[in-house]
Amino acid sequence: MSARLVMHVDLDAFYAAVEQRDRPEWRGLPLVVGAEPGKRGVVATCSYEARAFGVHSAMPMAEAVRRLPPETVYVRPAMEHYMRVSRQILTVLDGISPVVEKVSIDEAFVDISGLERLMGPPEVIGRTVKARIREAVGLRASVGIGPNRLIAKLASDAQKPDGLTVVAADQVGSFLDPMPLGVLRGVGAKTAPKLARLGLQTVGDVRRLPLEELRRHLGARAGTQVHLQARGIADDHVDPRRTRKSISKETTFAADVTHGWVLEDSLRWAAQEVGYWARHEGRKGRVVTLKIRFRPFETHTRSQTLKAPTASDVEIFDAAWTLFRFEPWAGRPVRLIGLGISGWDGADAGRQLDLFETAAPEPPRERERLDTTLDAIRDKFGAGRIQRGLPRRSPS
């Protein structure tokens, strides 16, 4: 392996796995964590037994219920409980290496460079991590190990669930070559069609194309990025202090949607998820981005910079809905819709409420108090137990 050795640890179907661990009678059954059947909402995650029926995260619950058999178990999320389990897993990883970067509640990067002398080869380190997680919390993890973050992440995805894939530095080319272009971070809605027109379908196809050719078709910046990604050249730095550049949520519909109220509900759900996680991480952002996709892969993004940083569900949704309404998309069948927040601003991130304030508070302050109350209810009882009552902007 190269001097740098990065491990990516990803808990398989985390929320669902915790529920099946805690309730042995649910093991082996399709299990969905999310909104209650019969009510408007989406799937947060689901077990692999449910995924066999084509169910996936962010799918509308009504669609999931139509696909799943009668014995399916439906569970409300218990975020506080999941976070406790996540902290236990981080403790396990901290016992492996002093350099651990939490990416989300169910995944992390770990710098294991030099640990071969203490623990053995990468395969042994990976098996040790999986065994310790299983012993500590009774859950399966997929582990990928490689010379950088990109390869480690793709390796952890390669043999899910409960997988272990190690990619040595001299194996990167053969590992990447058969993969579809979509695995490269530099390939998106704009670049994918251009590469397809060149007859390129796999990472290996791109890797064999000269850099000058890529830059001519994609531009200097994008062409260089795709060139490097196709060769497995990526960031190998694991930083426990690294912060996410953005927080986003999106919904991919099983069938294209034209009804405005469905799109509005999806954006409202996404805004609540994004706002919750932004507040949970103590962040506020100035930039709200709307993402929308039509068939076959026509994807658009629009962004709005707010006057002040926010983590408010209402303000995030309002900005995204405004972006949606003022684009000429009305009536077009939508395949995917979502939103995100970025442009973190910590200027007033720790600002405390004035306990001696007697005048009527400004609406933003009221929103912050309501957000705090709703977050506390969600942490205790799970997402969807209580939501804001907001007037609908689209006709039913």
Give yes or no for a contact between 387 and 81, defined as CB atoms under 8 angstroms apart. Answer: no
Catalytic residue among 19, 101, 107, 273: 107
273 labelled catalytic: no
Give just the sign of the alpha carbon dihedral 68, 74, 76, 77.
Answer: negative
383-395 burial by CB neighbour count: b if 16+ within 10 A, else e? bbeebeeeeebee
Give yes or no for a contact between 148 and 234, defined as CB atoms under 8 angstroms apart. Answer: yes
- Name residue, tokens 């059954």: 29
Closest CA to 61 of 254, 290, 263: 254
User: Residue 56 and residue 48: Cα distance in Å, rounded?
Assistant: 9
Give just the sign of the alpha carbon dihedral 329, 332, 335, 337.
Answer: positive
Residue 246: beta bridge partners?
342
Closest CA to 203 of 187, 219, 189, 220: 187
Catalytic residue list:
107
